[in-house]
Amino acid sequence: MKYIVAAIFILVTFAAYPALASDVTLKSSQSEYTFPAGEEARVPFVVESSFPKTNVGTLEYTLTRKQSQGGVSFSQSSSHSQSFPISPGSSQNAITLSSDDPAVFEVILAMHYRDSGKDYVSTLPPFNVQFVPNKSQQQGPQGSSQTSQSTGNADSPLTSSTREEKPEGQSQSSDPFDEMDRQMNAMQQQNQQLMQQMLSSQGASSGSGSRSQPQNAQQALQNNQMNAESSALQKQLAQETNQNKKDQQDLADKMHQDPMLNQVNQDLKKAGYQQKDGSISTERKGEGTVSAQYKNEKNQELSLQGDIRNDTLEKLTASSNESLPVPSSLADDPRYQATTKNLQQAGFNQTGGTQTITPNETKIDEQYNTPSGTNATISSVIRNGTVESVTVKKEDEAPLGWYIGIILLIILISLCCWAGYRYYQKQNIQPDEEPPVTVEPVDIRKVTEEYLTMAEAAIKDGRIKDAYVSSGQALRFFISHTRGSGSADTTEEILTLARKKGIDTGMISRILDRCMMVEYARSEGSSDEAIGFIGDIRSFVSENLPDE
């Protein structure tokens, strides 16, 4: 019976405890504050605590600075935290901000504290702190130059909301009485810690109105040492915070004046792109990254990423999944114009690209593809404003299904051969010997003339590309079979074979190079040139036909 009474007592105690739980509330009288640039601003906020004694919490504040200069907009975010004594009742507090240039800060305040063995956070909604160039503001609280009202926001007080912070991976006990015991033990330990913290922080708290408990000499000495250490730590945190803010602002000012970044921003504006977002993040003094997002009237997006080293923007990378604007020096280059025109005539469409920009060099890779899935890339290099090279790399146009079919055919033939071998092995029957294969001699002149006739027929039908292909095949076939074994096929092999036999390769190289350019859509041919090639090849055949 006594266990049941004890269990009921514990349940009633825990059920009534939340109603008696203490709370911490943050308040701000305005949702926007205005200060003159170049002066130190103290932004007030109120901390209300229902704790009967001083509690020790952690004040966390996040600052997001938005700034626009030279047509480039960026935002910088930083978070800071410091130990904060929470006095009973209501206490006035302030955070200190400053900016030499006009800017807007978005501020978020959050107070972390513990109560009854649990972690809580009280978060104040975001409010703005604006620094303006004029200095006609009225004298604000605590001696700061602050307007008594911010237009449209003076009647918008803010109040924080509180929630419990649960650590990740926290597990619940399967036995409710074991869980109650665990919570009671945690409460006892927490109360002991809070008592020690309150005794050590009462001397440092201000505006609380609470009186210190009597202390002996040893406790007073210990508390004075802890207060001194806490004050030194807060001073160090404030110095680090101010230095970080100064480093971030210095880096942002240098990026706003960076010639490479401003030039890229101007080029994108001329191409119809408008900046939608931008940010600068600081890794350490003089180092960080810069990023920006752009969009044009067609809703085509472009992202910009940069690396900052030694206060200098070393590299910028612009990327897009659609068409990519290129510098005017490249757009006016004849090689680039011819390359893009050939790809477009072959059915290629641009699908994206990247630009890697450094102070002296710009590398541009533009991706193209066809509806059938063939890819191509135009790679360009610009050094000191001059186009150095324009190259195109195109995939083999043979469809994937063709390769799959060849592989399947090889596998099928291999399986058939293996099955035949196994069958003859089981039957112990030796396959009949195949009759020797007789190779009939090839009429070289006849086959060469057939290729040339095919070329003439293609010209009559208007198939200029096929005429160049057949002409090149005729010349390759004739030289390969009259001056070699017939295995030479590529242009380099044909030219090497002709040189070994003492034949002048000038006419051969000219015809084969032009046929290859037209065949792979790198140049346009004409019927007059194709007819001239056919005549030159017939003359060459007549002069170099070997004696029978």
The structure's pTM equals 0.38
- Which of 86-99 are b and which e, b meaning 16 or more Cβ less than 10 Å from the residue's Cβ? bbbeebebebebbb
Closest CA to 311 of 358, 361, 251: 251
Q: What distance in Å separates the CA atoms of residue 98 and residue 42, rounded to the nearest whole number?
A: 9
Question: Is residue 132 within 8 Å of 34, Cβ to Cβ?
Answer: yes
Q: What distance in Å separates the CA atoms of residue 479 and residue 487, rounded to the nearest whole number?
A: 10
Q: Which amino acid, one-letter code, is at 385?
A: G
CA distances from 295 to 208, 258, 298, 366 (A): 53, 22, 8, 18
Residues forming a β-bridge with 350? 368
242-247 long-range contacts, CB within 8 A, separation 24+: 244/78, 244/282, 245/63, 245/78, 247/282, 247/284, 247/285, 247/286
SS3 assignment, position 304: strand
Closest CA to 139 of 149, 130, 148, 128: 148
Q: What distance in Å separates the CA atoms of residue 114 and residue 111, rounded to the nearest whole number?
A: 10
- Which of 395-410 are b and which e, b meaning 16 or more Cβ less than 10 Å from the residue's Cβ? eeeeeeeeeeeeeeee
Closest CA to 264 of 250, 278, 251: 278
346-352 long-range contacts, CB within 8 A, separation 24+: 346/370, 346/521, 347/371, 348/374, 348/376, 350/322, 350/323, 350/324, 351/321, 351/322, 352/319, 352/320, 352/321, 352/322, 352/323, 352/324
Quick one: pLDDT at residue 204? Answer: 40
Q: What distance in Å separates the CA atoms of residue 194 and residue 55, rounded to the nearest whole number?
A: 7
Closest CA to 280 of 268, 292, 262: 292
Closest CA to 359 of 280, 263, 267: 263
Question: Is residue 25 within 8 Å of 129, Cβ to Cβ?
Answer: no
DSSP 271: T
Contacts of residue 38, Cβ cutoff 8 Å, sequence gap at least 6: 98, 99, 100
- Which of 308-321 are b and which e, b meaning 16 or more Cβ less than 10 Å from the residue's Cβ? beeeebeebebbbe
pLDDT in tens, the chain (548 residues): 444 434 434 443 444 444 345 789 999 988 899 989 888 888 899 999 998 888 888 998 888 877 666 566 667 777 778 888 898 999 999 888 888 878 888 899 999 988 887 899 999 999 888 889 865 543 444 334 343 334 445 557 889 888 888 765 444 433 333 444 454 455 545 544 544 454 444 444 433 343 334 445 555 445 555 455 555 655 665 666 677 767 777 777 777 778 888 888 888 888 888 887 788 877 777 788 888 888 888 888 888 888 888 888 888 898 888 777 888 888 889 999 898 888 888 888 888 889 898 888 899 999 888 888 788 899 999 998 889 898 988 775 555 666 788 898 999 999 898 888 878 776 655 545 555 555 567 788 889 899 999 989 999 999 988 999 999 898 889 888 888 888 877 888 888 888 888 888 888 889 988 898 888 877 788 889 989 999 999 999 888 877 65
